[in-house]
Amino acid sequence: MVVEFNCYLFHVCSNGRLLFFLVLFVSSVSPLFLPLMAISRVWISAIVLALLLFTPALAQEEAAASSPEAEAEAAPSFVLTLDHSNFSETVAKHPFILVEFYAPWCGHCKRLAPEYEKAASILSKNDPPIVLAMVDANDDVNKELASKYEIRGFPTLKILRNGGDVIEEYKGPREADGIVEYLKKQAGPASSVIGSVEDAGSLIVDKKIFIVGIFQEFSGEKFENFIKVAEKLRADYDFGHTLEAKFLPRGDPNAKLPVVRLFKPFDELFVDFEDFDIDALEKFIESASMPIVATFDNDPSNHPFLTKFFNSPNSKALLFLNFSSENFDTFKSNLYEIAEKYKGENISFLIGDLEASQGAFQYFGLKEDQVPLIIIQENDGKKYLQPNLSPDQIASWVKEYTDGNLKPYRKSEPIPEVNNEPVKIVVADNLHEVVFNSGKNVLLEFYAPWCGHCKKLAPILDEVAISFENDGDVVIAKMDATVNDVPSEFDVQGYPTLYFSSASGKLSQYEGDRTADDIINYVKSNKDTTSHSDSTDTVKVETESTDSVRDEL
């Protein structure tokens, strides 16, 4: 269900690992690309940084979108407008339809609108026509639709096939020509027939993954399984099938058939696979399409492979250095040897150029004088850092990590020396001491400095804190979640997020109304009485934590 009161980011899907890619390399990502990404608690802070970097541009675009010129009377639309009353009936009529779930106030939706309309106009002339539609998912009458299709933010685009029986995330571009090209491909066959060398040359290009099934005939269980896999993975990969291996640019022209040949622009350039079990074939494609070491620099052709890197369930080992440094080749060679050694052991490797990786440094709270450095991030948010390392230290440090001998790294602001405001400041390094180990009842706000809802809540929390100033059992506190790691005990899906920890350690998220009276009554109803009732201690400072963050739509 879409939550309007919080500063929620885009949408949350089952797989959230991809998000971190955006932060690391936000300098090379368009703002319109951001809403496509899925997110989870672990990677949420990535988007915060991304939007912070884009704030000036977004503000200018927002102003332009709301200008009188932009609000001129619109021509008749090629985009179908759907709502709860006609959605199911309309979708059932179409074997293929793209639906945008939007909100009228959403800046990204406003920027997408002219591109979406242009694409709809072009695709209306396609043979057969491809239909684009939109639903105001912010309208109360469409809330059930928003819930059914798991709309967590705007804009969210879904491809619906076979009258709505098959639902897929739209993973294509957000500009008109890209939308048209992507949808034409998605609406056509999942796998293209390769009948000549020319066909192969036009489909199998140097900088993309391409998967070809080579068969004696286009029938039988193995061929059918190949097509099923192509249908399932078509949003992420390009597929073709042929009767002649000699048409293909690489590989044995006399290979034993049937066989699947995956072409890739890195490592061994192609690899053959003979198992046509559906699950085995899927796993092969996902594994073989990943570089042994992903590379990030300013070459945009690397970005699709970075997407796959960050979308994997593995822990991520990231080596950052200056690619122009004299020992770059040694670092790279050593990292490749280590990646080969740990292949299949749930850890993936990346080498990143300092010049292109400023987003990563902001995310992790790193400094340029720490390079060359290596950092490992696990999917539960734990991080491990080794700054200023030499090439021959990489192997021993990774072994220390895999042996479980390293202490996690945590991003934190300094513990404040003075903390005498009504709402106490908490940082990652003293959160556990204040919230869990103080023996007090603590209401904690996770906020972002740029969040409008957080700014509105600030004086309300001040009022709440003042009302409890003579109650030594209660602490009202806040933490800037954009510059402090959020511990895994908390699920911060937006800003502001409020949690209450009783003196006995019972932790619960506050989801009531954000008025002073409601919050005060909640604290009074849920607090435990301790022996500190005559105390007016100020919050002190000290220990532990780890995790992530979010963003305002």
Report the Cα–Cα distance between both ends of the chain, in Å, rounded: 15
CA angle 410, 412, 416 (to 5 degrees): 145
Q: Is 7 a catalytic residue?
A: no
Tell me the C-alpha distance between 367 and 362, whole Å: 8
Token pair recorded at residue 145: 């639709």
Q: Is 106 a catalytic residue?
A: yes
Token pair recorded at residue 6: 């919080």
HEC string of 4-30 equals: CCCEECCECCCCCCCHHHHHHCHHHCC
Q: How many CB atoms lie within 10 A of CB 344?
A: 7
Contact 213, 241 (CB under 8 A): yes
Q: Is 13 a catalytic residue?
A: no
| Among 59, 63, 129, CA closest to 94 | 129
H or E element in which residue 330 lies: helix 328-341
Tell me the C-alpha distance between 459 and 519, whole Å: 13
Query: Which residue intervals of 66-196 are DSSP H helices?
Result: 87-92, 107-123, 143-148, 176-187
Q: Which residue in 112, 157, 451, 519 is the catalytic one?
A: 451
Tell me the C-alpha distance between 516 and 522, whole Å: 10
**CA-derived radius of gyration, the chain:** 26
Contact 428, 480 (CB under 8 A): no
Amino acid at 277: D
* Half-sphere exposure (Cβ direction) of 165: Cα atoms closer than 13 Å: 5
DSSP 8-state assignment for residue 391: G
Tell me the C-alpha distance between 215 and 505, whole Å: 63
What does each C-alpha distance from 72 to 66, 79, 317, 427, 517 come to in angstroms? Answer: 10, 18, 51, 48, 45
Q: Which residue in 431, 444, 454, 486 is the catalytic one?
A: 454
Tell me the C-alpha distance between 186 and 40, whole Å: 27
Helices 328-341 and 394-402 cross at an angle (nearest 10°) of: 30
Contact 240, 185 (CB under 8 A): no
Question: What are φ and ψ of residue 160, in 5° steps?
Answer: -115, 125
Strands 210-214 vs 166-169: parallel, antiparallel or unpaired: unpaired
166 forms beta bridges with: 161
CA dihedral 131, 137, 139, 141 (to 10 degrees): 80
User: Which residues are CB-neighbours of 142 under 8 A, at least 6 positions away?
Assistant: 83, 84, 135, 136
Tell me the C-alpha distance between 44 and 51, whole Å: 12
Q: Which residue in 44, 109, 131, 448 is the catalytic one?
A: 109
Q: Which residue in 7, 36, 106, 133 is the catalytic one?
A: 106
Active site residues: 106, 109, 451, 454
